[in-house]
Amino acid sequence: MYFQIIICLKCHHSAVSCIVHLHHDYTITKLFLNKKEKSVEMQVVGITGGIASGKSLVLNTFMKLGAYAIDCDALSREVVIPCSKAWWEIVNFFDKDILKKDLEIDRKKLGEIVFGDSEKLDILEKIIHPEVRKKCMERVAAIKKMELEPNTLVVIDVPLLIELGIQKEFDKVIVVYVSEEVQIRRVMKRDGVTKEAAKKMIGMQMPLKEKRKFADIVINNGGTLEETEKQVRNVFESLSS
């Protein structure tokens, strides 16, 4: 699938920043942590949803309340900064034409190259995956080492959590839900696309109505910011008690 350094082929994020759109043979256990090794007092929760559903908002709200947060998209962008190991591998394979004058990878141009080319997308993902895995493991290890307080909560944003069938790797799974109408409206406003284009982007993903069936907890983000924050606060208090 694709990540946010280029337009993701499934969620219209980038192929480089969409870590959960990697090959399904990489499980969250391999990618993030080994549940058998984590402290019995550490609760690891996966957050997922769809395009424009508000996963980042929910993740950030958990973090403000005191939970540890791991953002896969952010880590995927971090590992391709200029002159990093993954950056050099990408440039060597795709050529320097994918770079801007500040040496940053041109996400749009890279996306156009891998869009519809499964072989090149596969190579891109294999370059990024090991580096993202390393970053995730470093963060989880750091939390385990530093945190001695009981009921420690770690929240990980994984866009394709349900599609990859890795929900059992988490203590709880949260689905951030909005209606399709709200998704369409938000995508149109955010990306400046037509209604038909927004529908096409949303249609490439598993419907949120289906994802809800796999959730332990559903957060409805179709209302006001205050309403969403209240739901997150209630969930946080429940999981931390």
CATH number at residue 51: 3.40.50.300
Report if residue 34 sits inside a domain.
Answer: yes
Report if residue 85 sits inside a domain.
Answer: yes
Lowest mean pLDDT among 30-34, 126-130, 190-194, 237-241: 30-34
Residue 161 has pLDDT above 70, yes or no: yes
So what's the pLDDT on residue 64?
97
Report the pLDDT averaged over residues 81-108.
96
Report if residue 32 sits inside a domain.
Answer: yes
The encoded tokens of residue 82 equal 């200029």
Q: How far apart are CA 215 and CA 204, in angstroms?
A: 20
Lowest mean pLDDT among 14-23, 37-46, 135-144: 14-23
Residue 33 structural domain: 19-240
Lowest mean pLDDT among 10-19, 64-73, 214-223: 10-19
Residue 4 has pLDDT above 60, yes or no: no
The upper half-sphere exposure of residue 75, i.e. CA atoms within 13 Å in the direction of its Cβ, equals 23
Which among 30, 28, 136 has a CA at the least distance from the CA of 79?
Answer: 136
The encoded tokens of residue 132 equal 């993202």
So what's the pLDDT on residue 208?
96
Report yes or no: 98 and 82 within 8 Å, Cβ to Cβ. no
Report if residue 114 sits inside a domain.
Answer: yes
Report the pLDDT averaged over residues 70-86.
92
Report if residue 105 sits inside a domain.
Answer: yes
Highest average pLDDT, of 39-43, 158-162, 194-198, comes from 194-198
Report if residue 59 sits inside a domain.
Answer: yes
Q: Say how many domains are in the chain.
A: 1
Model's pTM, two decimal places? Answer: 0.74
Report yes or no: 113 and 199 within 8 Å, Cβ to Cβ. no
Residue 2 has pLDDT above 80, yes or no: no
Q: How far apart are CA 53 and CA 47, in angstroms?
A: 11
Instruction: Label the pairing between strands 152-157 and 217-220.
Output: unpaired
Q: What angle do CA 232, 4, 97 make, to 5 degrees?
A: 165
So what's the pLDDT on residue 36?
44
Residue 153 has pLDDT above 80, yes or no: yes
Phi and psi torsions of 236, nearest 5°: -60, -45
Residue 10 has pLDDT above 50, yes or no: no
So what's the pLDDT on residue 8?
45
- Tell me the angle at which helices 55-65 and 225-240 cross, rounded to the nearest 10 degrees: 50
How high does pLDDT run on average in the chain? 82
Report if residue 163 sits inside a domain.
Answer: yes
Phi and psi torsions of 148, nearest 5°: -110, -5
Report if residue 5 sits inside a domain.
Answer: no
Residue 212 has pLDDT above 60, yes or no: yes
